[in-house]
Amino acid sequence: MTDEANYDGAFDAIVVGAGLAGTAAALTMARRDLDVLVIERGTAPGTKNVFGGVMYTPTLRELVDVEDAPTERYVAEKRYGILSDDGDETAVTMRPQAWNDAPHNDSFTVIRRRFDEWFAEQAVDAGATLVTETTVTDLLKENGTIVGVQTDRPNGAIEAPVVVLAEGANSLVSEGADLKRTDDRKDVAVAVKEVRKFDRDVIEERFRLSGDAGAAYHYFGDGAVGDTVGGGYIYPNKRTISIGVAYRIEDAATRNRSPEDVLNDFKHHPAIAPLVRGGNMVEYSAHAIPEGGVDAMPDLVHDGAVIAGDAAGMVLNNGIHLEGTNMAIESGYHAGDAVADAIEQGRTNARALAPYEENVRNSFVVENLEHYDFFHELIADDRDFLFEDLPRALADAQREYFRMDKTSKDEHVSRAKARMLDATGGWFGAAKKAWKYRKVLS
């Protein structure tokens, strides 16, 4: 008995990583009768994946029955709060009744450990092969074409006509094989998260929820993440709450505030403390979020390989929208579809795989990234206004507007207006800002 296996060992495609993009690709290819091998470095799918807390499922719905998926709560309420570091909060809350009916705006909180494992099982049931506890360390190339991967196990090389690189934010293989540049630290955010366990009724009382309804609270301003660009969030699950902050590594490196301090301070803000007090901490985690937007996206197609999901920088973060899950699954689906077509035609070079990039560019994935492409520079150079002045101005203006005294309402309105204009630099300043941010609302 020697070490080589006696299975036929021939795969049509290898998927690196059993995260959302990888599994979506594997499921799609398996359903088109391809022999697919998914290589996951964790002990099980999900053990190495961390995210904020909300899964967006429009594409997932096309691949599986979302009702079978292990979700925690559907998002019945979205809330955006701006926090000043004097303890003020100004918030907008949306609870459209429609979100209480399926498909619940395709937004659910999930526990990645359980969801990813379930999602990978669907791919295995469809015929894909999953091997865990195995890390892909390099690509195998023959005169420029990618023909397989090398792993960290003995006898660890394995070949296939196409490799789907769905390795996540730390795309070491793609970077190592010069398929993409390592992102700049301005284009990556560090996220730290805490999961706290509560009794179910404590959560439902505290967030005014019933049944499977959940909520998604997002927070900005200096009160949330301090002197940086980023935000905080709170997502209630069935019996746990996800609490976290995410901000640019550039700021973490230069503002000498460690991610742990930023998380601690976020939790102590007067608007946040009542929502997170008590319970007991069951997990502390950290992850990186690619935020380079469409400019940082690498070439998605190569001879014998495609890149999908976080590894391709497909995350939209414009403050209002924080979306990576839908983009990962959509790109995974398109990757799988294009690879299946290429295999059927018997040609797997970049040209044969090109439809993948076209389909992704025509989908919401790249359209949204392009739409908010301006947002990054805008945020960077307008940081002080958005994160420092605006939160305080809003808080002061409200106090003026809703002041209860014996002066007239006109008095209150004009003082509130004066306070806002003071922050925006007068009418002209306000007009300029409105023009600059027109794309956010249009």
For other proteins, which is the closer residue by CB, 132 or 145?
132
For other proteins, which is the closer residue by CB, 171 or 368?
171
Q: Which residue has the tokens 């303890």?
A: 87
Q: Are 165 and 174 spatial neighbours (Cβ–Cβ below 8 Å)?
A: yes
For other proteins, which is the closer residue by CB, 99 or 115?
115
**What is the separation of C-alpha 116 from the centre of its chain, rounded to a whole number of angstroms?**
14
Phi, psi at 259, each rounded to 5°: -50, -35
Helix, strand, coil distribution of the chain in percent, nearest 5: 45, 25, 30
Q: How far is the CB of 30 from other proteins (least distance, A)?
A: 13
Q: Which residue has the tokens 């499977």?
A: 212
Q: How far is the CB of 83 from other proteins (least distance, A)?
A: 10
For other proteins, which is the closer residue by CB, 266 or 356?
266
Q: How far is the CB of 169 from other proteins (least distance, A)?
A: 7
Q: How far is the CB of 242 from other proteins (least distance, A)?
A: 8
What H or E segment, with its residue span, contains residue 62?
Answer: helix 58-63
Cα–Cα distance measured from residue 119 to residue 69, given in angstroms and rounded to the nearest whole number: 8
Q: How far is the CB of 384 from other proteins (least distance, A)?
A: 12
Beta bridge partners of 73: 109
According to DSSP, the β-strands at 107-110 and 71-83 are antiparallel
Residues 6 or more apart whose CB falls under 8 angstroms from that of 268 comprise none
For other proteins, which is the closer residue by CB, 192 or 335?
192
Phi, psi at 273, each rounded to 5°: -50, -50
Q: How far is the CB of 373 from other proteins (least distance, A)?
A: 21
Q: How far is the CB of 131 from other proteins (least distance, A)?
A: 5
For other proteins, which is the closer residue by CB, 3 or 65?
3
The CB density around residue 434, as the number of other CB atoms within 10 Å, is 11
- Helices and strands in the chain, H and E counts: 18, 20
Q: Are 223 and 271 spatial neighbours (Cβ–Cβ below 8 Å)?
A: yes
Q: How far is the CB of 382 from other proteins (least distance, A)?
A: 18
Phi, psi at 324, each rounded to 5°: -135, -35
For other proteins, which is the closer residue by CB, 88 or 357?
88
Helices 325-345, 20-31: crossing angle, 10 deg rounding:
30
For 75, half-sphere exposure in the C-beta direction (CA atoms, 13 angstrom radius) is 21
Q: How far is the CB of 78 from other proteins (least distance, A)?
A: 22
Query: Edge to edge, what strands does the sheet with 301-302 contain?
Result: 129-131, 36-39, 13-16, 162-165, 305-307, 301-302
For 181, half-sphere exposure in the C-beta direction (CA atoms, 13 angstrom radius) is 10
For other proteins, which is the closer residue by CB, 303 or 324?
324
Q: How far is the CB of 352 from other proteins (least distance, A)?
A: 27
For other proteins, which is the closer residue by CB, 44 or 320?
44
For other proteins, which is the closer residue by CB, 175 or 341?
175
For 153, half-sphere exposure in the C-beta direction (CA atoms, 13 angstrom radius) is 16
